[in-house]
Structure 1
């Protein structure tokens, strides 16, 4: 057995001051690192929004090309007509039917993508997309509005307020 003197026994642990110094250092590191993770999360949501808008816009243009220059839900103010035009099959006149029963479409599978900021898949039909102020509490039936769409021009944007990483408005993406 090894004998220890009282002086040696006292030096075996950490002092309260040493522990507090370590806690303060860890707190400083956490305060420095955590905002970077928050920024990364915002960047990811913005990236998903840009990707979803590109997908929606390209499918709207494909629909227009295949339907004699008409955009989905052309002449309609019903969000269901927009969803049906993109999610169901249709003929060149825009008449929709179950998937596989018409020669064209579907342009999206399953449902519209959720807006990464609001989680909403709903659509607000408007006459002026750039002039429409986002309302993140708006509903399309029971669904939160994720997208703002003009069937006369084919313009679509996210139903988002706030700024993107580059300082531009999210609604302008």
Structure 2
């Protein structure tokens, strides 16, 4: 008596595995997308909350402005420094533990945009408007003058809400 599988039996098993993969894979991808959407919303919540805390502790001046001067041009490296280092009320920053720099840090790291794994932040100047559509070149788009920060990712979620409008 022969032992083993015939070619027909092997083809049947492969066909069954293919059918199962065709059923399971889209479901897995859907959950992966939902996880990225949830992470994006949570990261935006954290960023918005910490921007508000920073502004409250710096006489209403949001992070990103040099020397707490809201007429100056905000920069993303300064935004990162304000969020990640210790600061004083004047918006100057230093390493954590430096005397007289008693505020912050507000984040341990700037969170990633979960769709593109980028934390690069496009700064919108005081007299500039947000782009109408997400340019898909940055992790975040931030306008310090209004304390508004957006996710830079095109497309919509399952509820037809633009990611850019989260």
TM-score tier after normalising by the smaller chain length: 0.7 to 0.9
For structure 2, the residue ranges without an aligned partner over 5 or more in a row are none
State the match for 1:133 in structure 2: 133
2:94 matched residue in structure 1: 97
What is the aligned residue count? 155
Query: Root-mean-square deviation (CA), in Å?
Result: 1.7
Residue deviations 1:99-150 (CA, integer Å, cap 9, x gap): 22201111011x3111111111111011333x443222x3xxxxxx211000
2:122 paired residue number: 124
Cα distance in 2 for partners of 1:157, 1:46 equals: 13
| TM-score, with length taken from structure 1 | 0.81
Match of 1:65 among 44, 56, 73: 56
SS of corresponding position for 2:63? coil
What is the rounded CA distance, in whole Å, between the counterparts of 1:39 and 1:160 in structure 2?
18
Q: Does 1:155 align with 2:148?
A: yes
1:13, distance to aligned residue in structure 2 (A): 4.8
Larger Rg: 1
- In structure 2, what is the Cα distance between the partners aligned to 1:19 and 1:96? 67
Residue 97 of structure 1: how far off its partner (Å) = 1.9
Which residue matches 1:6?
A: none
Q: Which structure 1 segments of 5+ residues have no match?
A: 1-8, 139-144
Q: 1:30 aligns with which of 6, 18, 21?
A: 21
Cα deviation for residue 14 of structure 1 reads 4.2
